């Protein structure tokens, strides 16, 4: 196959070596917004992230294979993919470990008042805080029990938390006390101390955490969003945050987060720039996924 690799894959040089070793020819496009290095119809395979947000997928008339560098499929027209019988693969499992570590760290930052102590350190202020919380014994709900959600569940469970899940496909899993179906969500939320969002974005999940569901959270609850920004109604969240214990937000409905967003100035909110997926072992995991997926097409 002739395969186009974009700069969304950091390890593109290593990947090109693997692909040529498997007998494929490779072109490279650093920025997915730029003009293609050749005509689109010459490519049978593409390794990318948001390439089809900038180039019509219909122009890739000979496309047989797409490897996404993201875990989500929301930047691709999946109806078109299915209609054309194109093989598509995501980066499932590649980013799960760093994202799970990030979710746990964010909750602990809030519980252990890291911002308070950091400010005191800068000011050389020896001041104790008597309101620190324990994760032990808390109820953590994972909404979306795929690879990322399950890695989160393992880590919260290791801290002695009670971990439950909510998923479209409930199952038995030792990482969870129980996984509930989606229609049980409103009954699960009120008991959550921590609600972690790891579900994919679709029309069904857009604003799944809305004003009504946010109102079900207790005043002591923490919301963690490492999924997609649009699974949460931002305006509703802003309205509820003064009541909640806090939120850990790595993704937003509009990115970058606008400078005038009230979220920036909320003391109980941790904001990061869609960065939770970063880890030093990602490239090795992703290259392994790419190699296995390509070999499966043979």
**HSE-CB of 236 using CA atoms within 13 angstroms:** 17
Token representation of residue 270? 């941790």
Biggest alpha carbon–alpha carbon distance for the chain: 66
- Strands (E) across 22-151 are located at 25-29, 45-48, 65-68, 87-89, 139-143
**How far apart, in Å, are the Cα atoms of 201 and each of 23, 43, 252, 254?**
36, 28, 12, 14
Catalytically annotated residue among 58, 254, 255, 292: 255
Alpha-carbon span 49 to 104, nearest angstrom: 26
Catalytic pick among 75, 207, 274, 285 = 274
Alpha-carbon distance of 233 to 219, in angstroms, equals 18
CB 136 within 8 Å of CB 158? no
Does residue 255 carry a catalytic annotation?
A: yes
Of 54, 228, 253, 292, which residue is the catalytic one? 228
**Rounded to the nearest 5°, which phi and psi values hold at 293?**
-65, -40
State the residue for tokens 């693969």. Answer: 89
DSSP secondary structure code for residue 3 in this structure: E
Whether the Cβ atoms of residue 197 and residue 231 lie closer than 8 Å to each other = yes
Whether residue 228 lies in the annotated active site: yes
**Catalytic positions:** 228, 255, 274
């Amino acid at each position: 196959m002739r395969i186009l690799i974009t700069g969304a894959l950091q390890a593109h040089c290593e990947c090109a070596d693997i692909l040529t070793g498997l007998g494929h020819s490779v072109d490279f496009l650093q920025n997915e917004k730029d003009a293609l290095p050749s005509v689109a119809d010459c490519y049978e395979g593409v390794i990318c992230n948001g390439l089809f947000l900038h180039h019509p997928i219909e122009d890739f008339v000979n496309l047989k294979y797409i490897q996404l560098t993201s875990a989500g499929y929301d930047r691709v027209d999946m109806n078109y993919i299915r209609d054309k019988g194109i093989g598509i693969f995501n980066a499932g499992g590649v980013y799960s470990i760093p994202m799970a570590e990030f979710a746990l760290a964010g909750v602990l930052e809030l519980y252990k008042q890291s911002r308070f102590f950091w400010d005191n350190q800068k000011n050389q202020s020896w001041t104790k805080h008597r309101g620190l919380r324990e994760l032990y014994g808390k109820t953590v709900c994972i909404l979306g029990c795929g690879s990322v959600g399950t890695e989160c569940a393992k880590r919260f469970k290791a801290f002695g938390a009670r971990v439950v899940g909510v998923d479209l496909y409930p199952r038995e899993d030792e990482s969870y006390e129980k996984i509930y179906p989606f229609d049980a969500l409103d009954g699960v939320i009120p008991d959550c101390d921590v609600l972690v969002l790891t579900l994919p974005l679709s029309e069904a999940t857009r604003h799944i955490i809305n004003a009504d569901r946010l109102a079900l959270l207790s005043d002591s609850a923490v919301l963690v969003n490492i999924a997609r920004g649009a699974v949460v109604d931002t305006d509703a969240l802003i309205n509820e945050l003064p009541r909640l214990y806090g939120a850990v937000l790595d993704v937003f409905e509009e990115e970058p987060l606008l400078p005038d967003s009230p979220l920036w100035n909320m003391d109980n909110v941790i904001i990061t720039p869609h960065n939770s997926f970063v880890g030093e072992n990602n490239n090795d995991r992703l290259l392994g996924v790419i190699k296995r997926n390509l070999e499966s097409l043979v």
